[in-house]
Amino acid sequence: MTDLDTLPRTRLPALLRAMPKAELHIHIEGSLEPELIFELARRNGVALAYPSVEALRAAYAFSDLQSFLDIYYAGASVLRNEDDFFDMAMAYFRRAAADHVVHAELFFDPQTHTDRGVPIASVIRGLARACAAAERDLGVSGRLILCFLRHLSEEAAFATLEAALPHREHFIGVGLDSSERGHPPEKFARVFARCRELGLHRVAHAGEEGPPAYVWSALDVLKVERIDHGVRSVEDPALMRRLADERVPLTVCPLSNVKLCVFDALSKHNLGALLDAGLCATVNSDDPAYFGGYLNQNFVETFEALPALGARHAYQLARNSFEASFAAPAQKAAWIDRLDASFKTALAAAD
């Protein structure tokens, strides 16, 4: 790509929207829109603490990660049956397809559901059925990553893994999410070692609110292949060098970071610094129903807020998303060919 720098800035939003991309950091329970929460509550006879969709949406003002998680787990309580998980994931896939997402690796939190008596089979079967339907009907490939809740014990994580293994063909890896501070990656050393033996991919949230030390231990102790968030890595130059040298992907979520007060404003976000340091950063939506937008909204608002980001960065971010995915090398190459073609078309139209 040679003439990327010549693209007028006015063309950037359309380019960002139209480029094919992968999403690698989306909690499927975080895609549950208030309207669907109310519909599922009605369908399942679940009482909600809020009288209306508007009142629920108005409660989405967070001061930190924990203040969000409290309301996010309450929202997920309306999910009871296999069809609920299917409907939630299909709603996400339809929005992803509209954003030109061609591949999505979805996080799900089984413990949020099994602790309420929902069978893990209902969770996984509903989500897996949606992945198959998305591929068939929308042309979006979907894969599942089972996350352990880090505020719970490692024993509970082991029990979740055991319960999930009969459904092994439906998930490609494991992750670590929920309250970061006070729950370092080391707490899950043994269960991640077991997952590695089982041939599962491994990722972990680290350096979102927690210190750079958590990113080091996610890499060295959990042996993760990607870091979710990781924005606090900039505080540690040696860590930045390692992430760049080893091309460890970071799944960055700009709108989430502002809503959870990791950054005061989008204009203060360090995405540009991460890319300039040679890191394989990607853009993702995290919990789009709660944080003000899906993937294209993240791209467009972030580029608007950071004038140093241009078409070259857009290309790099989309390319990184494919490189950082857990897809097969031939599939990644095919997506990158599509990306190149979309940029050629955009540049030709700008001439």
- Who contacts 315 (Cβ-Cβ below 8 Å, separation ≥6)? 1, 4, 19, 339, 343
Contact between 105 and Zn ion by CB under 5 A: the answer reads: no
- Who contacts 17 (Cβ-Cβ below 8 Å, separation ≥6)? 99, 100, 296, 299, 300
Is the CB of 27 or the CB of 103 nearer to ligand ADE?
Answer: 27
Instruction: Kindly determine how many residues on this chain lie close enough to bind ligand ADE according to the rule CB under 6 A.
Output: 11
Q: Which amino acid is at 198?
A: L
The active-site residue, picked from 208, 209, 301, 323, is: 208
H or E element: which one contains 69? helix 65-76
Is the CB of 20 or the CB of 293 nearer to ligand ADE?
Answer: 293
Options 103, 205, 259, 313; binder of ligand ADE; rule CB under 6 A = 205
Contact between 160 and ligand ADE by CB under 6 A: the answer reads: no
CA atoms within 13 A on the CB side of 44: 20
Report d(CA 301, CA 12) in Å as an integer.
Answer: 11
Nearest CA to 255 among 240, 267, 247, 243?
267
Residue nearest to Zn ion (CB): 286
Contact between 29 and Zn ion by CB under 5 A: the answer reads: no
Q: Look up residue 239 and give its two tokens.
A: 């860590």
Contact between 27 and ligand ADE by CB under 6 A: the answer reads: yes
Taking the complex as a whole, the smallest distance from the CB of residue 26 to Zn ion amounts, in Å, to 8
Residue 343, binding choice from ligand ADE, Zn ion, none, Cβ under 5 to 8 Å by partner class:
none
Contact between 209 and Zn ion by CB under 5 A: the answer reads: no
Instruction: Kindly determine how many residues on this chain lie close enough to bind Zn ion according to the rule CB under 5 A.
Output: 1
Options 112, 178, 251, 284; binder of ligand ADE; rule CB under 6 A = 178
Which of helix, strand or coil describes residue 86?
Answer: helix
Residue 76, binding choice from Zn ion, ligand ADE, none, Cβ under 5 to 8 Å by partner class:
none
How far apart, in Å, are the Cα atoms of 161 and each of 12, 145, 166, 190?
Answer: 43, 12, 9, 12
End-to-end CA distance of the chain: give it in Å, rounded: 15
Is the CB of 87 or the CB of 286 nearer to Zn ion?
Answer: 286
Taking the complex as a whole, the smallest distance from the CB of residue 119 to Zn ion amounts, in Å, to 25
For residues 134 and 140, the answer to whether their CB atoms sit within 8 Å is yes
Options 82, 287, 301, 323; binder of ligand ADE; rule CB under 6 A = 287
Is the CB of 290 or the CB of 343 nearer to ligand ADE?
Answer: 290
Options 29, 209, 286, 323; binder of Zn ion; rule CB under 5 A = 286
Q: Is 162 a catalytic residue?
A: no
Is the CB of 33 or the CB of 177 nearer to ligand ADE?
Answer: 177
What does the radius of gyration of the chain's CA atoms come to, in whole angstroms? Answer: 19
Compute the Cα dihedral for 259, 265, 267, 271 and give only its sign: negative
Nearest CA to 128 among 143, 117, 140, 115?
143
Residue 105, binding choice from ligand ADE, Zn ion, none, Cβ under 5 to 8 Å by partner class:
none
How many other CB atoms are found less than 10 A from the CB of residue 196?
15
Pattern of binders to Zn ion over 143-182, x per CB under 5 A? ----------------------------------------
Options 16, 23, 28, 30; binder of ligand ADE; rule CB under 6 A = 30
Options 33, 208, 301, 323; binder of ligand ADE; rule CB under 6 A = 208
For residues 228 and 259, the answer to whether their CB atoms sit within 8 Å is no
Which residues sit at the interface with Zn ion, rule CB under 5 A? 286
Residue numbers of the site for ligand ADE (CB under 6 A)? 27, 30, 65, 72, 177-178, 205, 208, 256, 286-287
Active site residues per annotation: 208
